[in-house]
Amino acid sequence: MTDWKNPPRLFIPGPVNVLPEVLEQLSRTTLGHRGKEYTQLHGETVEMLKKILYTDQSVFLSTSSASGVWEGCIRNCVQLDEKILCTMCGAFSDKFATVTRACGREADELKVDWGQAITPEMVDAKLATGNYAAVTIVHNETSTGLTNPVYEISEMLKEKYPDVLVFVDAVSGMVGLPLHFDKLGWDVVFASVQKAFAIPPGLAVFAVSDRAMEKAKTVPARGYYFDFLEFAKSGANSAKFSFAQPRT
């Protein structure tokens, strides 16, 4: 009989095995999320994440899986009458397109067989139509073990389509692989901590470009829980915390 109290050691893409020393830290006394101690902890954590992601722009924590930021980047950064190009090469990237439509936006598919990479030439051919306000990409598609050539795609986007917003689900690429957010010119990148961070599930890390934050100011009906402007407001207030928190 399966016994959840004695689970097997994990050797899967996520959630991954958590080291004993990390679990020991998680057993420490809980901090009040409105206290000065938490404010200090959160600020130090964000600064370390900025170094990891090579960015001077906004970095946030969300009390959700990265799936929440799928919805967040669509609802914050894309107008209802704008179209999104969804590149699809596996389970994560396919779901990104599903969420795009669930948020009431029009999505066109650039879909290849699972295990095949999305190339700069494929994206270029689609964007050349001039029909798209944004493009979605998965960095490391762990459903197939594929890493897309995101640096090559990003160079092409910066050169030929600088006005198109770029949303990237890093999955296990964040921390697991180098990720130079500012250099890449991305607008939102995100990942859950139960992947390469090797922390128990419960948080997502995401970076947002300055231009994406400005775009969010013009988009109505952003919702509440994943409203980027609310994240920024809380992060700027030293008495609060900059990740979404359910009301109790």
Separation CA 141–CA 97 (nearest Å): 14
**pLDDT tens sequence across 18-44:** 999 999 999 999 888 888 998 899 999
Classified as helix, coil or strand, 123 is helix
Predicted local confidence at residue 240, as pLDDT: 43
**What is the mean pLDDT of the segment spanning 64-93?**
97
For each of the domains in the chain, give its residue range(s) and CATH number, in order of start.
32-236 (3.40.640.10)
**What band does 237 get if pLDDT is binned at 50, 70 and 90?**
low
Separation CA 239–CA 237 (nearest Å): 5
Separation CA 140–CA 121 (nearest Å): 19
Predicted local confidence at residue 10, as pLDDT: 87
**What band does 15 get if pLDDT is binned at 50, 70 and 90?**
very high
Mean of the per-residue pLDDT values of the chain? 93
**What is the mean pLDDT of the segment spanning 74-78?**
98
Predicted local confidence at residue 247, as pLDDT: 42
Query: What type of residue is 71?
Result: E
**What is the mean pLDDT of the segment spanning 86-112?**
97
**pLDDT tens sequence across 147-164:** 999 999 999 999 999 999
What are the tokens at 212? 């994406």
